[in-house]
Amino acid sequence: MTMISVTINNKVYGPLEVDPEVKMTDFLHEYVNLTGTKFGCGQGICQACTIIVDNEDGTSDTVRTCITNAMVFNGKKLRTIEGHAKTSKTGEIIALHPVQEAFVNNFSFQCGWCTSGFTNKTVALVEKLKRQPIAKDQVQKIIETELKDHVCRCTGYVKYYKAVKELILSTEGATV
Amino acid sequence: MSSQLNLSRRNFIKQCVIGGVTIYSAPMLFNSVQAEEKSNIEKFRSNWNKDKKPRFRFDAIEKVTGQKIYGRDYRAVDIPTWPNEQHYALMIRSSIANRVYLGFDISFLPAEIQPYKVITAEDLKNHKLTELIEDFGGNMLLEKGNTPDYLGHEIAVLLFDTFAAFNKAKGRIQFNSNVVQYGEETELVAKSKDPYASWRIVREEGQLGQNDRYSTLQDGLFFPNYVAHKPVWPSAENSIEDNGKRGMFYAEKLHSDVETRKDWFVLDRTYQTQSIEPMTFEAEAYNGWYDKATQSMHIVISSQAPQDFYYKAGKTIAKSPLASDIKNVIVHTPYIGGGFGAKDHTQFPYYGILASLFAKAPVYLANDRFEQFQSGLKRHPFVMANKLAFDKNTKKIAGLVSDMEVDGGGRINFSGSVTMVGASAIQGIYYIPRNDITAVCYPSQTPHAGSMRGYGTLQSMSAMEMMFNEAAAELDVDPIELRKINALKPGLKNTQGALPNGDMRYLEMLEMAAKHPKWVNRHSAKAEFEAKHPGKLYGVGFGMVSKDYGTGAAAPSSSVEITPEGKIIVKTCSVEMGTGIDTSQGSLVSQYLGSAADEIEMAVTEEFDAMELFATDNPYLISQERQDQMLKDPRWTPAVSMASAASMSSFYQTQTTENAARILLEKTLFPAAVEIWKNTYFNGQFATPDFNDVSKARWSNDGLTINGYPPISLELLAKKAHADGMITGVMTHAFNRWAWASAEFELEGEIKRYPLDAIAIKRGIGARNVKTNRFGYQVIERKSVDYPKTALNNAMVTYYAPCATLAEIAVEKASGKVEVLSTHTWLEPGKVLVKELVEGQIEGGLTMGVGHALYEYLPLDESGAGNGTWNLNRYQVPLANHNGVWNMNYTILPPLSESDPAKGIGEVVMIPIVPALVEAIYQATNTRFYHTPVTPKDIVEAI
């Protein structure tokens, strides 16, 4: 057994005793009851389990939790699907993250199993573009590159891609 | 904890009593933290219906904030009345099917991760549980000394008391080839079994205006005997007494003509489709607790057919020795993440029940992706030997002979009906004057095949479209022109001899497609593209199909209520699994109530008992005499409930939701408004309106209005309705056997015929002396009822939705890789309930069709999914760079009028892209393919 502490959506969990073989997806589900991150394939292929790891230098990485052991995240700061919306002091949602809003307004998802992975990847992408803007005519290309591995079985991806394109083009500082 | 369980509490509602076992359904409840989170989104979500059309999906906020709780997410701690302790179950399955099973050995596991209980076939025998899944073919766990029935045959269930132990043990067992021991090689068990089903659809048209000389609708179905596990059909004879012999007479007459007629052109081709994994993103899961103190089995299932589970689980337990131990079965039915038929009538939850029987605490059983590939339902592979004959002169179809062999997999499941539907669908959009369609489904060693999206029609209709494209080339006719010549026209019958319902609008769609620039310019575009891209080939292909929707025994239920505050509550029996049925059903009431629903509950079954309905017979097999006898009981119906499958929601569920809302308008809101208008304005400044005609009433932004009278808000009308004890809740049930049942009901003093077979009402809080049942409803006695004749079961299907797709592709010569450049789809969905939901079905369906045509494949031999090693690393589901994501276009045909029904389109949208792509590949490479998927390897070898 290993002791781990991890900050998820600005809340510290731990120290918790966790078997070293436990994957992060299972840690989120079985140990801290955060079920918004979904298990898809267990091989890191489908990207449904993607979360965001915030680095100390202000950059972020997206990580697939179904192939990464929980102990790897010890001491790290994470963001999951549960952490993006703005809430009031009483926990009531008062504003969705712009990525969430774009997906909701475009009817982007259907069953919703892939939504967590798409959302986290897109949040990280938009933040990156704010730091490193791209030309407007490169927006489609970067969406294809960044989201190409995400599997969705219901939607055909069209309304996801449309939402992300609209969002990037309307986000101040993301394009030049 | 268990002693606190009180089964009379309101949230456990009795579904039925079977052999002394009472089945309850229970709403899912979250733990306190989740309940709080849920309340935190309520206010935000309430904006969903603030416009005339939905701003977003009803459950979009939960999904996009990670607060949607799926069936797989529930743990014991989340469910009130359950102990907090959670145990875990692991299944051992056989990875082969051609050797004798000798046993398994997990002694190598360290003591601390050994299971506390191992459940084997011996336990089933010792506890007399061998019939636990008798409906699925029995043999639930493989006995030592026997050969597995199929790849993935279940061997044992292992129980662990901690997640860590389960997780570690699983890691050491799952891919360990030393765990299960096998002996000598044997023949496949499937080879010793008779076919699961055999169907034969024979028809020969009569002279113009006359009855058919023979058809299944008119003359009935006939079936073969089995000799050496092969069908032997009746001998051919033009016999009046024996419909089988007579059917064979017409079949053989057609065969003879196909072989000998010189004025016919016959295309003789064999097509083969593959085994497909539905890859529903939420793999199957179960949580269950057997509370011995109260003799109660608590179950959480992830199913798109919970009603089926209630009855089967009850029946299964009741007829086993368990009936003496289990008195109550309480089933929780949560939201599920995708269905596609993969969660319709599966054996999976019964293994969960088995685990619960032996577990010391609530036990969680969940497939990972490898396990779902190994044990989940698959799409049936078809091999179709087709002979399609055309009159050389008129270019009209002269006849079709089709001989289909279907691989039904290891357990029968829905193989019988999938085979039948596939056979009856091959006609596609065409009129076929003579047909002999034979379809036989055989058991095999592959995993079970079930009701995956398309239900057999994808396979047979794609083949027909591929034939049409090839026949057009052979006959030197434009492919769309050949379709126009042969498209089914109003008044013409299908291959079963039944008249399709409604105007099919095939010609209109074909003409639109024929004018599309990609089609018109396809030859010049090919030349230009290939000149510009020397390493690539270019092609455009087309396909058009018409997919039936429904099952022939649809039995939807809905209720629509208004609260004193004017909130609208809609409840339906359908399971929401991503298609958006909650959104569509919640929206459609706005036509009658002025606003979409504020609250929507799905998968409701418990409350619909308020209509006090019961069924007695299999609705497909019941005789006319029996139906005539039973319908005299006003509580009888051919079927009480239905699964959420087969494109059922738009058309079937809408029937009960819409009628419930309409009754509320006609019997409550409009009369309440009339009274207000009369009291306030009569003889005043407005002209006397025609208050008798509710059809002239309209909802404006401010409320209900008629003939210029000031709008009255729903809030005010609801307040009055409740105060006056008017009808404030309407519950409806309907039955459809390719036509709706109808019955007369007396409501508020008026007798009227409705396309329903049961109505119950709830009155407002001001009502006095109203006798209600325990659900608070008053059943309205039906005065008379007309059920569709039982002979319509022979029609097989009569409701169709058409869809056409044009695909533009490029093929890379070096790799054989197909790039979808663009697509255009034409869909005729009838009345559109929510445009974005229809678009989503087109986009998602087309993409799934791309997977079927080009990527998805599971071998049928021992290397297939049942061996437990398949996952997304080698099973390619289509990605965004496979489907022409930026260039996916469509035309949704407007309805002919606002009275058009909303058609079931969830399946048809995935089919025409398949033949369109195969034809486009031919146009690009000059090579025809007769199987799916067409892989880059196939293409490279061909060119």
State ipTM. Answer: 0.98
Please count the other Cβ atoms lying within 10 Å of the Cβ belonging to residue B523.
10
- Same domain membership, residue B563 and residue B458: no
Dump pLDDT digits (tens) for B14-44.
556 666 777 776 655 554 445 555 556 777 7
Q: How far is CA B109 from CA A135, B171, B370, B465, in A?
A: 57, 11, 21, 55
Chosen for mutation from B34, B64, B907, B909 (greatest number of chain A CBs closer than 10 Å) is B64
Structural contact between residues B550 and B932, judged by C-beta atoms closer than 8 angstroms: no
Give a yes or no: residue B51 inside a domain.
Answer: no
- Same domain membership, residue B621 and residue B686: yes
**Alpha-carbon distance A57 to nearest alpha carbon in chain B (angstroms):** 27
The reply to whether A109 touches chain B by the CB within 8 Å rule is yes
- Same domain membership, residue B664 and residue B561: yes
Residue finishing a domain among B795, B818, B839 = B795
* pLDDT of B2 above 70: no
Between B714-723 and B670-681, two packed helices, what is the crossing angle to 10 degrees?
Answer: 100
- Same domain membership, residue B502 and residue B650: no
Band the pLDDT of B906: cuts 50, 70, 90.
confident
Lowest-confidence range among B49-53, B71-75, B801-805?
B49-53
- Same domain membership, residue B813 and residue B714: no
Lowest-confidence range among B258-267, B534-543, B647-656, B702-711?
B647-656
Following DSSP, what letter does each residue of B339-405 receive, concatenated?
-TTTTSS-SHHHHHHHHHHH-SS-EEEE--HHHHHHHS-BBPPEEEEEEEEEETTT--EEEEEEEEE
Res B8: pLDDT:
31
The closest of B150, B158, B387, B99 to B866, measured between CA atoms, is B150
The one-letter amino acid code at B695 reads S
Chosen for mutation from A41, A100, A161 (greatest number of chain B CBs closer than 10 Å) is A41
**Alpha-carbon distance A126 to nearest alpha carbon in chain B (angstroms):** 17
Of B40, B70, B840, nearest to A155 by CB-CB distance is B840
State the total domains in chain B.
Answer: 3
The reply to whether A149 touches chain B by the CB within 8 Å rule is yes
- Same domain membership, residue B517 and residue B407: yes
Work out the average pLDDT over B652-674: 96
Res B195: pLDDT:
98
Element (H, E) at B850: helix B835-850
Res B551: pLDDT:
81
Residues 59-98 of A with CB under 8 A from B: 80-82, 84-85, 87, 90-94, 96
Give a yes or no: residue B401 inside a domain.
Answer: yes
Give a yes or no: residue B920 inside a domain.
Answer: yes
Of B164, B836, B879, nearest to A107 by CB-CB distance is B836
Residues in chain A closer than 8 A to B881 (CB atoms):
144, 148
* pLDDT of B936 above 70: yes
Residues in chain A closer than 8 A to B879 (CB atoms):
148-151, 157
b/e map B483-508, b = 16+ CB within 10 Å = bebbbbeeeebbbbbbebebebbbee
Residue finishing a domain among B738, B761, B795 = B795
The reply to whether B279 touches chain A by the CB within 8 Å rule is yes
> What does pLDDT average to over chain B?
91
Res B727: pLDDT:
97
Res B476: pLDDT:
97
- Same domain membership, residue B568 and residue B500: no
Cβ pair A21:B846 closer than 8 A = no
Top-confidence residue, B264 or B800:
B264
Work out the average pLDDT over B425-436: 97
Among left, alpha and beta (phi > 0; psi -120 to 50; other), residue B17 is beta
- Same domain membership, residue B719 and residue B585: yes
Q: What is the largest CA-CA distance in chain B?
A: 96
Percentage of residues in chain B with pLDDT exceeding 70? Answer: 94
Of B337, B843, B872, nearest to A111 by CB-CB distance is B337
Number of H helices, E strands in chain A: 5, 7
Chain A's closest residue to B87, CA to CA, is A30
- Same domain membership, residue B598 and residue B545: no
DSSP class of B781: P
Res B303: pLDDT:
86
The reply to whether B144 touches chain A by the CB within 8 Å rule is no
Band the pLDDT of B904: cuts 50, 70, 90.
confident
Dump pLDDT digits (tens) for B291-303.
999 999 999 998 8
Dump pLDDT digits (tens) for A112-162.
999 999 999 999 999 999 999 999 999 999 999 999 999 999 999 999 999
What is the pTM (predicted TM-score) of this model? Answer: 0.93
> What does pLDDT average to over chain A?
96
Of A115, A140, A155, nearest to B886 by CB-CB distance is A140
Residues in chain B closer than 8 A to A120 (CB atoms):
none
Residues in chain B closer than 8 A to A29 (CB atoms):
73, 75
Residue finishing a domain among B761, B795, B829 = B795
* pLDDT of B110 above 50: yes
CATH code where residue B922 lies: 3.30.365.10
Res B11: pLDDT:
42
The closest of B406, B429, B465, B428 to B269, measured between CA atoms, is B465
Which residues, in sequence order, are CB contacts of B33 under 8 Å at separation 6+?
A33
Residues 152-181 of B with CB under 8 A from A: 163-164, 167-168, 171
Give a yes or no: residue B542 inside a domain.
Answer: yes
* pLDDT of B412 above 60: yes
C-alpha B494: how far from its chain's center?
A: 22
Cβ pair B69:A35 closer than 8 A = yes
Work out the average pLDDT over B818-829: 97
Among left, alpha and beta (phi > 0; psi -120 to 50; other), residue B180 is beta
The reply to whether B53 touches chain A by the CB within 8 Å rule is no
The reply to whether A114 touches chain B by the CB within 8 Å rule is yes
3-state SS of B47-80?
HHHCCCCCCCCCCHHHHHCCCCCEHHHCCHHHCC
Between B457-475 and B479-486, two packed helices, what is the crossing angle to 10 degrees?
Answer: 110
Res B9: pLDDT:
31
Res B33: pLDDT:
46
Please count the other Cβ atoms lying within 10 Å of the Cβ belonging to residue A144.
14
Size of interface A-B (CB pairs under 8 A): 202
Lowest-confidence range among B130-144, B166-180, B263-277, B826-840?
B130-144
**Alpha-carbon distance B324 to nearest alpha carbon in chain A (angstroms):** 35
Dump pLDDT digits (tens) for B579-616.
888 899 999 999 999 999 999 988 777 789 899 999 88
Give a yes or no: residue B623 inside a domain.
Answer: yes
- Same domain membership, residue B330 and residue B311: yes
- Same domain membership, residue B677 and residue B602: yes
Cβ pair A148:B880 closer than 8 A = yes
Cβ pair B885:A87 closer than 8 A = no
* DSSP reduced 3-state for B187: coil
Res B758: pLDDT:
97
Dump pLDDT digits (tens) for B202-250.
999 999 878 999 999 999 999 999 999 999 999 999 999 999 999 999 9
Res B269: pLDDT:
98
Band the pLDDT of B518: cuts 50, 70, 90.
very high
φ, ψ of residue B439 to 5 degrees: the values are: -140, 125
The reply to whether A173 touches chain B by the CB within 8 Å rule is no
Domain that holds residue B386: 382-550+797-942
Band the pLDDT of B641: cuts 50, 70, 90.
confident
Cβ pair B839:A87 closer than 8 A = no
Res B127: pLDDT:
82
Top-confidence residue, B640 or B892:
B892
Res A62: pLDDT:
98
Work out the average pLDDT over B627-639: 95
Cβ pair B64:A156 closer than 8 A = no
Work out the average pLDDT over B121-143: 83
CA distance B914 to B543: 8
CA distance B808 to B888: 11
Of A109, A110, A161, nearest to B886 by CB-CB distance is A161
Give a yes or no: residue B206 inside a domain.
Answer: no
Of B368, B843, B886, nearest to A42 by CB-CB distance is B368
Dump pLDDT digits (tens) for B453-506.
999 999 999 999 999 999 999 999 999 999 999 999 988 999 999 988 777 899
Work out the average pLDDT over B902-909: 90
Tokens of B937: 């390897």
Give a yes or no: residue B927 inside a domain.
Answer: yes
Dump pLDDT digits (tens) for A44-80.
999 999 999 999 999 999 999 999 999 999 999 999 9
Of A30, A46, A119, nearest to B163 by CB-CB distance is A30
Res B1: pLDDT:
28
Chain B's closest residue to A36, CA to CA, is B66
Q: Which domains does chain A have, with CATH numbers?
A: 2-83 (3.10.20.30), 86-170 (1.10.150.120)
Between A158-170 and A115-131, two packed helices, what is the crossing angle to 10 degrees?
Answer: 30
* pLDDT of B677 above 70: yes
- Same domain membership, residue B761 and residue B618: yes
* DSSP reduced 3-state for A89: coil
Burial grade of B713 (CB within 10 A; 0-12, 13-18, 19 or more): middle
3-state SS of B568-618?
EEEEECCCCCCCCHHHHHHHHCHHHHCCCCCEEECCCCCHHHHHCCECCCC
Give a yes or no: residue B864 inside a domain.
Answer: yes
CA distance B674 to B521: 60
Work out the average pLDDT over B831-844: 94
Cβ pair B580:A110 closer than 8 A = yes
Burial grade of B688 (CB within 10 A; 0-12, 13-18, 19 or more): exposed
DSSP class of A39: P
Chain A's closest residue to B31, CA to CA, is A33
**Alpha-carbon distance A162 to nearest alpha carbon in chain B (angstroms):** 8
Rg (CA), chain B: 29
Res B552: pLDDT:
86
